[in-house]
């Protein structure tokens, strides 16, 4: 299987992280972590992972047992991963959704994201035990109301080509990017050891992340349990909007998150754990991540996993107010 060997080869050089693609599962206004039960939630999300995703996901239910398929290349990973959705705002005020494209290294998945579970850092397993998340665990990073970017784990890369890395900014790139915009979300990796969630979905975790997969340093005594450092990379294909004559005449940039953020500082991500059984723990315990017995599936199988659309509304664009979602028009 070409795909399988490719996935394994990618984990090989450093053996300190799992990196894999997950195709788009759904693009809908649902948010079972921040707004459970709300149909619709306040803003549009792009979601990848297992098909147990729904408006309400009871923490008492083990997603790893409930889901029956996943869009991720590791077929035992029924977790859900989601972020907001990017729009392009035309000069006449109408909005058009920006398509996503997959990391070409990881096979021809449909849209989606690249997911990382990093051990100590990108190049080392370290000596610290990495404890897997538990069923029911969820967390968020970032906040749609943040007005200034200060979290080094939440960044943008202006892609000259699909392999561009580095030169990260904490706001949207201010000029067209030939191969699109990569949105990067690093989650905190220090847990309080007790709570699967917290009222703001963040206080049960402590963020030591320095960004760019650097060693984040020791966890504090308040949050002593080291978890895998989860990260998302989403490639937004801005190509059709890169003609500068389409850009605002006042020099501002035209991209807007679905929660009405045209600076990009409010970028945020949601994570809901759902690996089957002890698969993730076994992988983290393996001294070499190439030596894990994690099961994989083909790109075709990953692309096939889907859920029903509960919130039936146009999402690809609108004349004016689709961002604020006070009714599409």
Ligand X SMILES: *[C@@H]1O[C@H](CO)[C@@H](O)[C@H](O)[C@H]1NC(C)=O
Which residues sit at the interface with ligand X, rule CB under 6 A?
Answer: 54-55, 90, 92, 94, 101, 237, 239-240, 310, 319
Q: Which is nearer to ligand X, 8 or 311 (CB)?
A: 311
CA-CA distance, 278 to 134, in Å (whole number)? 9
C-alpha–C-alpha distance, residues 103 and 21, integer Å: 7
The pair of three-digit structure tokens given for residue 235, joined into one six-digit string? 């490639």
Q: Which is nearer to ligand X, 55 or 69 (CB)?
A: 55
Cβ of residue 34: shortest distance to ligand X, in angstroms?
Answer: 17
Nearer to ligand X, 96 or 134 (CB): 96
Q: At its nearest, how many Å lie between ligand X and the CB of residue 307?
A: 7
By beta-carbon proximity to ligand X, the closer residue of 287 and 308 is 308
Closer residue to ligand X in complex, CB, 37/224: 37
- CB 184, CB 212: distance < 8 Å: no
8 Å CB contact between 233 and 182: yes
SS3 content of the chain, % helix, strand, coil (to 5): 10, 25, 65
Q: What end-to-end distance do the CA atoms of the chain give, in Å?
A: 47
| Of 63 and 294, CB closest to ligand X | 63
40 preceded by cis ω (within 30°)? yes
Give the three-class secondary structure for 154. Answer: strand
The nearest distance, CB 276 to ligand X, in angstroms, is: 17
Q: Nearest approach, Cβ of 270 to ligand X (angstroms)?
A: 17
Q: Taking the complex as a whole, how short is the minimal distance between the CB of residue 162 and ligand X, in angstroms? A: 7
**Minimum CB distance to ligand X smaller for 243 or for 293:** 243
Element (DSSP H or E) covering residue 117 = strand 113-118
Q: Tokens 């991720």 — which residue? A: 72
Could you give the CA distance from residue 306 to residue 286 in angstroms, rounded to a whole number?
31
Q: How far is the CB of 310 from ligand X (least distance, A)?
A: 6
Q: How far is the CB of 212 from ligand X (least distance, A)?
A: 24
Structure tokens at 51: 């098909």
**Cβ–Cβ under 8 Å, residues 264 and 172:** yes
What is the rounded distance in angstroms from the CA atom of residue 255 to the CA atom of residue 237?
12
């Amino acid at each position: 299987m070409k795909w399988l060997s490719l996935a394994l080869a990618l984990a090989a050089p450093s053996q300190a992280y799992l990196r894999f693609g997950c195709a788009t599962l759904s693009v809908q206004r649902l948010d079972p972590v921040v707004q459970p039960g709300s149909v619709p939630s306040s803003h549009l999300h792009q979601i990848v992972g297992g098909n147990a995703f729904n408006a309400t996901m009871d923490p008492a239910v083990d997603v790893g047992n409930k889901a029956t398929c996943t869009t991720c290349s590791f077929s035992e990973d029924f977790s859900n991963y989601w972020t907001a959705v990017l729009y392009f705002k035309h000069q006449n005020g109408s909005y058009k959704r920006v398509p996503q494209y997959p990391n070409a290294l990881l096979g021809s998945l449909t849209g989606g994201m690249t997911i990382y579970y990093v051990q100590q850092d990108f190049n080392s397993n370290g000596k610290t035990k990495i404890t897997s998340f538990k069923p029911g665990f969820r967390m968020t990073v970032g906040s749609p109301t943040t007005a200034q970017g200060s979290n080094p784990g939440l960044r943008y890369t202006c892609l000259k080509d699909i392999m561009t890395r580095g030169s990260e900014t904490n706001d949207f790139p201010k000029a067209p990017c030939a191969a699109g915009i990569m949105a990067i979300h690093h989650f905190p990796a220090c847990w309080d050891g007790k709570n699967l969630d917290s009222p703001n979905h963040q206080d049960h975790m402590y963020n030591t992340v320095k960004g760019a997969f650097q060693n984040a340093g020791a966890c504090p005594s308040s949050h002593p349990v080291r978890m895998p450092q989860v990260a998302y990379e989403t490639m937004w294909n801005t190509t059709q909007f890169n003609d500068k004559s389409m850009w605002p005449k006042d020099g501002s940039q035209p991209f807007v998150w679905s929660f009405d953020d045209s600076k990009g500082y409010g970028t945020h991500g949601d994570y809901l754990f759902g690996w089957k059984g002890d698969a993730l723990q076994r992988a983290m315990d393996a001294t070499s991540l190439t030596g894990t017995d994690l099961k994989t599936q083909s790109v075709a199988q990953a692309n096939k996993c889907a859920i029903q659309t509960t919130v039936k509304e146009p999402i690809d664009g609108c004349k004016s107010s689709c961002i604020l979602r006070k009714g599409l028009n």
